[in-house]
Every structure is written in structure tokens, then in C-alpha cells.
Chains A and B, each alone.
Chain A
Amino acid sequence: MPITHRLQSIPLCAAVLLTLSAAPPVDPMDDDAMSGSSMSSGGMASTGMRQKDPSELTQAEISFFESKIRPVLSGACFKCHSEGSRVRGGLRLDTPDAMLRGGDSGPAIVPGDADSSILIRALRHTDEDYEMPPSGKLSDAVIADFERWVAMGCPDPRARETFGANGDASKALPISAIDIAKGRDFWAYQLPVSTPLPTVAKEAWPTSTLDFYLLAGMEANGITPVKDADKGTLLRRVSFDLTGLPPTPAEVAAFLRDTSPNAYAELVDRLLASPAFGERWGRHWLDVARYAESSGKEINILYPHAWRYRDWVIDAFNKNLPYDQFIVEQLAGDLLPAHNDREFAEHWIATGYLAMGTKSHNARGRAQFTADLVDEQIDAVSQGILATTIACARCHDHKFDPIPQRDYYAVAGIFASTETRYGTLAQQQNNHPAQLIRLPDNAGLSLGGAQPAQVQRVLQGAYDRTKALVAGAPTDAEIREARMAENRGEKPKIDLQAAQRIRAAQDQLNMYEHLATRFDESGNPTNGNLLAMGVAESGRVIAVPLLERGEIDKAGAIVPRGVPEVLCAGETPELPSNASGRLELAQWIASETHPLTARVWVNRVWLHLFGKGIVKTPDNFGSSGQQPTHRELLDRMSVEFMANGWDTKALVREIVLSHSYRIDSVPDAAQAKSDPDADWYGHMLHRRLEGEAIRDAMLFAAGTLSLERPAGSFVNMVEGGTRIEQLMQFLDANTSSRSVYLPVVRDLVPQSLETFDFAESSFVTGDRAETTVPTQALYMLNDEQVMRVADAFATRLQRDAKTTDERIQRAFLLALSRKPTGAEASAARTFVKHFEQLAARAGSETTEAPAAQGNRRAAQRQGGVAQRLRERMGRAEATIPNDPELIALSAFCQALFATAEFRTID
């Protein structure tokens, strides 16, 4: 069983809030724009003390509340400050969340800080405007009880708000017009069955099961498969497909030389065993898992610990974790038995999957926030794993698929009974901080990356300035007093605008101080950095009510927890009454009797190898999605996949060893006319390389790509988020890594990825778009990073080979995995020679005073204004070359990067 003593989590302080939107902490504009008196809900204020969850309370705490606090609240306060009352001043005291959220004057309580709690001040009659209760001051003993209660951190056993709070058990569920039994007639809801192999005329052609099905389809449609791809093309294709990297020139030479019948199979096995496999295929899953290192949406708050999930996914692919297990761990890893601390930690990290979604941290209502969080989880799981759009049934019965609204709320109950631990720190713009998961100390986990010296300097400087600003700051009480004075038309005693700035600075200071719990003075990560995002049982098992039109205040009948009925062709899970049911949900999904799970995954794997799915809408197998082009094939492969232990690598291997995968990508004349998109798989498709592969391949050609996994993520080491753009300047040390390790901050995705149709990380993305836009051309032609890599590539060529001709040969091999044709070599020679002449003639003619340009741009960057999160691909010390030969070679290398061939898998 899990090592339960480690289940206790640390306070929310471990994560740090970062507002990417904000200017430095002392910028009055942003501060005023977002916070202040208009946004009275400050969430938890600055003591950093967290109000415990009901499940964490000791018996003594509970009885203190029940005997000393609750009677007074209900006797003296609820008349005006509870649901159904007049809710004076916008303040309710009848739920813990409402007290924290507060009313017009701000939070009623600040756990741990009685003096700053308006409730206490009102009871004490400190301020004229807030003398409560109005009927007369309570006894000193009662006030002392309340002071003590706040000092204890406001332990409160009352249920936290969820969107299930106002359900009505007496109401009946609405009758749905959906006929579930009839709905099950749809292909996707029936269990896949294996069919006998179809017969084909060209019996010698198929080399694997799938070839029979594809060939049968071709023959039925009068299509003859094209010839096999040549060995070089196949090598490049399978290398990119399995590892996201091109083959080395040595590998090209060896493979072309090797005439043994097993050469290709051995190559495939080698690629499958490479750590690069997990980096390539892990990223495919991260698209589906909408992985990102920030919240996105209105207030973009960093998730500094998201990277652990990223690494877990990559490792899972490299370990070839069976897909069923892969799913169960992500949905319910926290509930699985573990044999040791390491396994325990990894199981929990896997649940980061559920915590990764976009969130509106500045939303006010807790119930709405929770409902949206749960909705996001349902959407991610149902589309990502089941290719079913259950979230469509949030507001009404699903319009196309047999999923009644009640099914949505049945699933919602499971997630509503789950606590999502995404971290972040309470701040003016963050009303919804949460805990994180504290991982065991001695489980051999990475602590994350160390802060580079420059980062430390920036942080230290910011800390010192902020600290100085905060020193001598007015207290929250003084600010409130000043505000009231201003409202009365009097001149306040303190400068309110300055106070606002200080309030923001205080939040910043909290961040820096929490950062110090994760990094030591030398900038090395400590055990305090052993944190992860994920989920846990909330300790409250609740069924939620169906919400009319999905609206939070239109609660209807309570819906028992469960799963969509139409998906239960195989079995229906029994949910326990003492747990959320997440584990049972996970096991039901990852079961051989689930009609969709294996099919959806087989289809995803297929898509990444053939460029299109058997079902072309990989995230939607419903009736508004597309029908499978080869249903029997999909079913048979799914059945075999499950029988084979959900072995992803074996599935990949089977596909790439098939004859269908190995044919040429040039259609013959007939297919060019009748089937240019290869609907019948008579030829392979030309596929666009993703941004990751383009960047990796450029660095690879230049010889500057590091295949080592970097420790952690850059996002993990910067808590002072307002400085992130500035800090990005210092990324150099970390940027020769593969693209999968670049930071993925929502809305601030590195340009090298964003430009090339990177997955929108706010959604499940099973199939990235393929656009061709001029911004991509501008990037390849003008981007400083691209040029620097081209410089490095050119330098390598100068080193590797003596003559221009040799260098051209070498460059083609490194960039395109092949030798140039005669015409290409000749064009290249002419270009390089002529460009060199241009460069030699005058720097001012060809290059606009390159050095000066470079310095100007560098100076702009140092300015820190208008900075954008972008990785540094070149070496920090790289300068623009002055040697005409090098300039010409670099221009040539850059041109190779820009070619269609470099950006395509044939």
C-alpha cells in the first residue's frame, strides 16, 4: 500500500504565483488596473498561513469551532450575512469560502493574522464604520475566542463550496429523449472484434496484418501501391518518426551498405530503444494532455512543477509502460499500491495530467471555479483518452452522441470528489491557490535545475528592491482606514497609490521568500523543490446536482456518480461509497471491455506514422466525427494491441515494419489523379515536420544539439515571474537541449515552436494543423537564432572538410541525409562562390555592418522591454562572422534549413 505518512502535503506556499502580464512590481498602472478596492476579494492574504481543509483538522480544532465559533456566527451574524439574508456589505459568513472571499471591504478573515482580519476588527469595534454586531459589542471572552481562532488559522470543519453544494435530493432527474440502447448501435460504442484477414490478389505484397487490409482496399478501388521508398528515404522517414531526429551521416552510410534482410528491423529496434523515442512520442502525448507550465487564460500564472509530469511521460514511453497502466497512473496514480518511494512518487507525478489544464485564477466564485476545473478535466479525459466529447453535455443532452446531461454530472461527481493540487500562491490576482504534492526526499528524484548565476543576481536584485519598498509599509488596516477616509471625502493619512504598489510588492516578496524554500543560497535546488502537481482524494465523496443549462445557481436533482451509460458495452464500474471512484473510473477506461480506449490509442499511433488517422478526427469518435476509413483494420489492431499487453512499442514496430509504411511518397500518375491524398494508402504522404523536429534537426546539423535531458525546467527556477522575459536572456546555458524540454508557458510559447503550428496547449490536440504562412518564411530567413545555428553549421563544415565541394556534400548529408544531385551541387557551388565574393567585396555592401547591427540588437534585448520568451539556440558567445567564406557558407546552410525538403518527411 502507499506510504501513507507521506500523504500529508505542504502548505500552498510551495508554489509561486507569477503574473506574466504585470510590469515590474512597482508599476502603478498594472497594479491599479487589476487590483485594489474594486477587487475586494484578495483570497488569502499575506501571512502565508493556509486554512486547513476539513479533513486535516484535529478533533480539538473541530470542537473549538463547534463550541466557540459556530454558535456565535449563527446567533449574531447570519441574520445579515448568510445566504438568504440581505447579505449586507456583500459579506457572507455561512461558508468558509465566503468568509475568505469576503465582501465589499475585502476578506473577512486572514488566517493567522487577527489584527488584519476585518471580522476581528469589527468585533473589537476598532473602526467606527465596522462595529459588529450592530446590536452591541460581544463579550471580551467571545472576542478573545475569535482572535484565538484566527490565530489558529481559522480551522473550519464546514464543507467547502463545490458546485454540488446546493443540490436537491428530492428533485427528479429530467427525462432524456436519448435512447441509450439504440445509441449503442453506433460503431464506436460496440466492442472491437477481430475479423479474418481479407483475401488479396497480390499475395506476395503484404508483410504484416495491416497490409492485407490496406491492400484489399486498394485492390477494390483499382489502386496499385507504388514502389518501395529507396533506402535513404526510408531511413530518414523512420528516424524522424521514431525519434524526431535525422540519421547521422555514419548511420546513413552504414544502412545503405547493409544488405542483410534484417537491416531494417534491426534499425527499427535500435530507434525504439533510443531515449529519443520517448522524447518524440512523449511530446505526441503531451499534445493530447494539453501540457503547459502555466495557467493560461486571463491571468497567466506559472506552474513551476509541471515539468515533472513532462519527464514522467517521456520516461513512460521509453520504459514502454503498457498503455493501460499509463492511463491508470495518470488518472489515479495516487491510489495505486507502490513498492517503494520512487514508484510511489512516480505514480503521483503521473496524476499531474489532471492538474495541467487552463484555469481562471482570478475568478471570484469558488463554486464556479470548481465547476470549470472539473469540466476541464472531463473534457481532457474524454477527448484525450476516449475521443468522446462528454463536455458537450454540460448544459444539455449531447446533440449528436447518446450522452444525456445526467451522464456528464455523474462523471463530474467523481472529479468533484477529487482534490486537484496545482499549486500557486494566493495573491491579489489569484483567488484560487491550491496545494502541491510533496514528494519523498530519498526516492532518487531529480531536484530540478540550478539557477544560473545571472538568474540569481536578477532575483536578488529584485528581492532587495522589493524588500526596501515593503519596509515601512502601511498595514492592511491602515490602507483600509485611508480608503474609508477617502470615501468620506477626507484626505487619507497615507498615499493610497503608493500603498497599492506596496501591496503588490508584498506579494512579490512572498514569492521570493517562497523561492528561498526551494533553492539554497548558491541557487541549487533543495529538497524543498521536490514538489509535483497532481490530484488526491478530497476526503469528501459527493454526488453533484445536474445544473440546468450548466449554470451554477440552477442546481437540480443530485446525480449519483458514474460513467456514461452508452460506453458500458463491456462493463459498468461499481463506485465505492468511501472514495471518489477515480480508480474505478481509470480501471474501467483502461480495460479490454471498454469499446474506445484501445481504438483511440491505436488510431493516434497510426496517425503519427501515416500522417492521418484511420479515424481522421482523432479526438472525436462520435457521430459528428468521421467514420473510420478501415474499421475492420482498426478493430483487429485494437484487439491485438490489448492481447499483446497494451504494448505501444510493439504497435509502433508492427506499423513501421509493414510494407505499407515502407512505400514511396511519390504518387504514380494514376494516383496523382485519382487519390492524391492517399486515402487508400497507395503511397505515403509527404508530411510536414513539427517545429520541434525542425529546431532539433537544425541544431543536429550544426552539431550543437545536446541529447542530455536538462534538469527540470527554466520555469521551475523563476518565481519572480514579472521578470521572466528578462530572465529568459540567460537561458543560453540550457538551450542546446531538445525542443521537448523548452518551456511551454501558455501564450508565450517559444517562437521556434509557435511559428510552426505548435499544439494549442489549452486544448486536447490529437492532430496539429499544418499551415504555410509567411511568418514561417520570415523566421527561417531572418531570425537571429536560425542564423546563429547556420553559423555553427558553417563552422562545423569548415572544420570537417577542406574544399567547397566537400563541404557541400557534407552539408547535404547532415541536413538532408543524402548527397546532392549534380544539379544541386552545382547550384550550391555557384551560390557559395558568388555570395563569398559579395561578402568579400565589402562588408557594407553585403552585410549591413554586421557587427554594429548585432550589438544594436543585443543592446535592445538587454533593455528588457518588448522581450519575448524565446530560447537561445546559439552559443552565447557567438558573434556575427566577418570571414567572407564563413558568411557564404552560413548563408548556404541557412538556405538548406529553409528548403521544403528540410521541413518535410518524405
Chain B
Amino acid sequence: MQFDCCSNSETVVSRRDMLTQVGCGFGAMAFAAMLAQNSMASTILGPDGRPALVAGKTTAKAKRVIFLYMAGGPSHLDTFDYKPELANADGKNLSVGRGSGQLLASPWKFQQGGKSGLWISDLFPNVRERADDICLLRGMKTAVPAHAQASVMMHTGSFQFVRPSFGSWVLYGLGSANENLPGFITINPGNGNGGAQNYGASFLPASVQGTRVDVARNGNRGGGGGRGQATPDEPIEDLRNDRYTRSAQREQIDFVQTLNKERQRREKDSAIEGLIESYELAFRMQAEVPELIDLTNEKQSTLDMYGIGQTATDGFGRQCLLARRFAEEGVRFIEVSQGGWDTHRNLRVDLERQCGAVDRPIAALLTDLKQRGMLDDTLVIWGGEFGRTPYAQNGDGRDHNAKGFTIWMAGGGVKGGLSYGSTDATGGEAVDGVMDIHAWHATALHLMGLDHSSLTFNHAGRDFRLTDVKGRVVPEIVA
């Protein structure tokens, strides 16, 4: 067991100081990103020679992440983990520890897709066509088969403690590439199961926390009711001014800045520069964000590709298209959520509906990114907090399963057309190429050019990491 958790480097303190003192959040992030690109990171990170950034544009392809989070725990056995033996064993009794019941064969057929011939079920016919872009991680496991813990685990690497989210770490490590937009956006996140913790900054600088964007859509939200002041016509809190026209507000801001500049002259307050700039950024965001989320200027063929305008796929299609637009604009980490995967019963009906809502939009997203030359540097991740049991629950359902499940990644330097890892014969437990959440985080960071063991932040007396004392990069899946 290694205890890298406590390797102390003052270097990160200096990075923190830089991030909080350089001034404006986005400016600071852009600054950090710029330094990274210029390979100056090591000088910023300090003399210990352990820069957080893995040097070299050669290994790191991914510049951004789109995380398609399937809240509730989608069944791997009916989608991406092909288990012919399960089909043969349908109805047999399975008794393993506490988990027991009659095995349930998947009601859906599996077929091979792409040149690689990955087996994917009929629930994902469109995604199956993109099989050669996809790397299936069939040996996933996580800590606890309860939604809240597993969700927080997946998003922060810990369910025991409050820790910064995956997206916050990525933004902290790489900075934002667009100073007019937040660097970490989460579209329609669920409210339960950790809620804001799933995109929180915890002890990282507040500027790297996820910004919640709420947009209109049909269908499911990421698993909960409604926290958040933001409404479909005000996707980010306080983004619009209800009283003044843009030109009137400009006059008001000009007056504020007149007073600010007067003060700057008088007080020589070094922090004021960042404050002045923050008003200008805010003003630009007001114009830019609504334009960005307005899909009316997309071609009809694009809308059709994402299934926008069709009841089943409209909601998730819009979110996927939005994710692409945010990605284009340089947002570093984009999360899209879809709830409703907790199929304890009614599997045949509910899972068909769930997959029907996301299959086409996801395939469209992959296609769209590829057509725009963005798939190579965009890491697309699909998955839920855990999988389901091979045995039946309530006759037509499956229970939670933390011991084995599948997520997949595409683009961003990951090997396409690969199936890595596997579960046992009937799909209950990961047995080969096993990846826990830490390994997955470490590998995803690696694909972003970040060394998980060096991306640290000093808090409460020690250096913390997304992977804490664990995690290892799985080189087999890196292209």
C-alpha cells in the first residue's frame, strides 16, 4: 500500500495561491491552461519536478470531457455486457452470499457492431454502429450498491468524505479554454444522491465548481425534482436582467467601472483589476450563453440526427447537442444526466424506454463530434453508478450490483473497438481486467494529460488527489 496521500509538496500551495490570487476565476483558469500549453507548468508547480501535467502533447489527446451520466444504475447485462451463458441459465437458482435468486436471461438479443465486432444489444442499435469508436470497460466495480454512495463515489472518488468532483479536478488541472463561459458545466443534474456534491469544488477554489445549466427537455431529468433557481429561460442563475435593456445595463456597468477606476487610482488595490474584469465577463456571458443554448440556428438535419422533435429522444437529444456546442466553445468538462435507470421491476418496458431515449442522441453525438474533427480530442464517457444483478428481482427486474458492470469511453485517445475486462460467466462480478472507480479516474485523467498522482491540492495538512491513495492508469485502453 502506498501512502502518496501525504506526500507533501509546497508546490501545490503555490498553485493554489496562483489560482486564487491571479484574480478572476476564468482568467486564472485560462492562465493556467496557457501555462500548461507552454509546458511551463513545472515551473509553476515548483521545484520538486513533479508537475501535475504529464508533459507532452504526444500522449495526451483529450482536451475535454463529455460525461453522459446514467443515474440509477443501467443494466450492463441487457446492453453492453454480452453473456450467452446467462441466456442458457435462465431460471436457474443462483446463490452467492447475500445475492440470490433466479437468473434472468436478457430479453434482448445481442449483435456485433462495426469492424471490431463488439457485442452490443438491440437496445442500442445506433450506438452499436459506432462500435469502432467505443472502448467497453466490462470489468468495472464500485464500492457500495446504494445510489447515493455510488453516485458520489463515481463523481468524487470518495463516498466517505466530502471531496472535489471529477470535473472540478479536471478544470483545476487544465483551466478553461473560454473566458466567457464556465469551464465545468453540468446540464440538468439530478438533485438527490449527493446533489450538488456531484459537481462541487469542495476544498478546491470555488471557481472550479460545476455550473449548473438547466434547459428545457422532455423526458427524464437526472434523477430528481427541482433544486436550482435556474429555469429553462434562465439557464444559469441571475443570467438575465429582468429590468434593463442591454444598453441601459451597459450604462450602469460603465458607471460602476468609473467608480472602480477612480478607486483603483486612489487605493492601489491590486485585487480591483480582477473585479473590474468580472463585470465585463458577466456582461458578455449574458449575451453569449443564451445564444449558445439556442438550438434554432442548427441545421434541421442535425436536429433530426439527434432525434430532436421526436417525443422519445427530444429531451436527451437537446442535451447532447448542447454538450457538443459547449465542447466547441471550449468548456473543459460537460456532464449530461439521464435518470430512470433503476429497473427493479418492469425491466422489459422501462429499459426499452430508457435506451430508446438515449441511443440515437448518443450515436448522433459521436457522429457529430467525428464529423467536426472533435472526437479525437473529446473524451466521451457513458455510464451509471453501478450495474444490475444477473438474477431477477420481482420477476421482471434486476437489483443493484456494485461488483460488476460496464461503462464505456470513446474518443479522446482511448482505443476504439475494444472490449476491456470482463465479468464472470453470468455477469455478476468483475473477474478480469477489473477497474475500480479510482483506476477509471486515473486513466481518464491520464487521457487528459494529467498524472493522477501529481494532480494534488493541499488541504487540512496534506495533499489530496482525486484518486486519494489509490488509482492506477490502465495502459491497455490508451490508443
Contact = CB atoms under 8 A, between A and B. Distances in A.
Contact of A848 (B5, B245, B276): B245
A27 B225 CA distance: 9
Interface stretch (A68-76, A150-158, A652-660, A865-873): A865-873
A487 B101 contact: yes
B162 A358 contact: yes
Question: Which of B192, B193, B240 counts the most chain A CB atoms within 10 A?
Answer: B192
Interface string B1-21: 101011110000000000010
Question: Which of B266, B285, B345 counts the most chain A CB atoms within 10 A?
Answer: B345
Interface in A845-859: 845-848, 850, 853-854, 857
Interface string A22-38: 11100101101110111
Interface stretch (A182-190, A437-445, A891-899): A891-899
A21 B345 contact: no
Contact of B26 (A364, A666, A773, A891): A773
B339 A33 contact: yes
Interface string A757-782: 10010111000011111111111011
B344 A37 contact: yes
A467 to B, nearest CB: 22
Contacts of B274: 772
Interface size range on A against B: 35 or more
Contacts of A622: 461
Contact of A486 (B151, B223, B252, B345): B345
Interface stretch (B119-127, B255-263, B306-314): B255-263
Contacts of A892: 255
B78 interface: no
Given A486-B345, A776-B278, A30 B225 contact: yes
B342 interface: yes
Question: Which of A389, A725, A782, A887 counts the most chain B CB atoms within 10 A?
Answer: A782
A747 interface: yes
Contacts of B223: 29-30, 33
B262 A821 contact: yes
A392 B262 contact: no
Nearest to A832: B255
A104 interface: yes
A294 B210 CA distance: 22
B380 interface: no
B237 A778 contact: yes
B43 interface: no
Nearest to B71: A33
A617 B105 CA distance: 58
B252 A848 contact: no
Given A358-B162, A399-B462, A486-B345, A865 B226 contact: yes
B271 A899 contact: no
Question: Which of B8, B260, B279 counts the most chain A CB atoms within 10 A?
Answer: B279
Contact of B159 (A298, A549, A846): A298
Contacts of A823: 262
A319 interface: no
B184 to A, nearest CB: 12
Contact of B394 (A29, A296, A486, A854): A486
Interface in A471-513: 483, 486-487, 489, 496-497
A778 B255 contact: no
A299 interface: yes
A901 B263 contact: yes
Interface string B389-410: 0001111000110000000000
Given A298-B194, A747-B197, A847-B243, A21 B224 contact: yes
A414 B226 CA distance: 42
A899 B6 contact: no
A735 interface: no
A751 B286 CA distance: 19
Interface in A767-799: 769-779, 781-784, 787
B227 A773 contact: no
Interface size range on B against A: 35 or more
A883 to B, nearest CB: 13
B72 A772 contact: no
Question: Which of A30, A298, A776, A784 counts the most chain B CB atoms within 10 A?
Answer: A298
Nearest to A890: B243
B206 interface: yes
A298 B206 contact: no
Nearest to A683: B268
A640 B454 CA distance: 44
A672 B268 contact: yes
Question: Which of B20, B226, B239 counts the most chain A CB atoms within 10 A?
Answer: B226
Interface in B237-277: 237-245, 248-249, 251-253, 255-256, 258-260, 262-264, 266-272, 274-276
A778 B200 CA distance: 20
A300 to B, nearest CB: 7
A774 B278 contact: yes
A483 B399 CA distance: 13
Contacts of B23: 772
A665 B272 CA distance: 14
A895 B259 contact: yes
A297 interface: yes
Contacts of B330: none
A21 to B, nearest CB: 3
Contact of A22 (B225, B228, B255, B275): B225
Interface in A382-410: 383, 389, 391-392, 396, 399-401
A764 B266 CA distance: 37
Nearest to A429: B148
B256 A34 contact: no
Contacts of A665: 267, 269
A693 B224 CA distance: 34
Contact of A778 (B206, B285, B399): B285
B182 to A, nearest CB: 8
B361 to A, nearest CB: 21
B359 interface: no
B149 A620 contact: no
B179 to A, nearest CB: 9
B145 interface: yes
Contacts of A857: 242
Contacts of A903: 275
Nearest to B145: A38
A34 B147 contact: yes
A860 interface: yes
Interface string B87-120: 0000000000110110000000000000000000
Interface of A: 19-24, 27, 29-30, 32-34, 36-39, 89-90, 103-104, 296-300, 358, 360, 362-364, 372, 379, 383, 389, 391-392, 396, 399-401, 483, 486-487, 489, 496-497, 549, 619-620, 622, 624-625, 665-667, 672, 676, 686, 688, 725, 747-748, 751, 757, 760, 762-764, 769-779, 781-784, 787, 821, 823-824, 827-828, 831, 834-835, 838, 845-848, 850, 853-854, 857, 860, 864-868, 870, 880, 887, 891-892, 894-896, 898-901, 903-904, 906
Given A32-B344, A496-B345, A778-B237, 7 more contacts: A104-B98, A298-B148, A360-B148, A686-B269, A775-B211, A781-B283, A784-B242
Interface of B: 1, 3, 5-8, 20, 23-26, 71-72, 97-98, 100-101, 145-149, 151-152, 159-160, 162, 191-197, 200, 202-203, 205-207, 211, 214, 223-231, 236-245, 248-249, 251-253, 255-256, 258-260, 262-264, 266-272, 274-276, 278-279, 281-283, 285-286, 339-340, 342, 344-345, 392-395, 399-400, 458, 460-462
26 contacts: A20-B227, A21-B195, A29-B224, A34-B147, A34-B192, A103-B98, A299-B192, A362-B148, A389-B460, A400-B461, A620-B460, A686-B271, A725-B227, A770-B271, A771-B205, A772-B271, A772-B275, A775-B238, A779-B238, A781-B249, A860-B231, A867-B227, A867-B229, A891-B252, A899-B259, A899-B260
- Nearest 9 A/B pairs, CB to CB: A21-B192, A298-B148, A399-B6, A777-B282, A389-B461, A23-B225, A868-B229, A773-B25, A90-B98
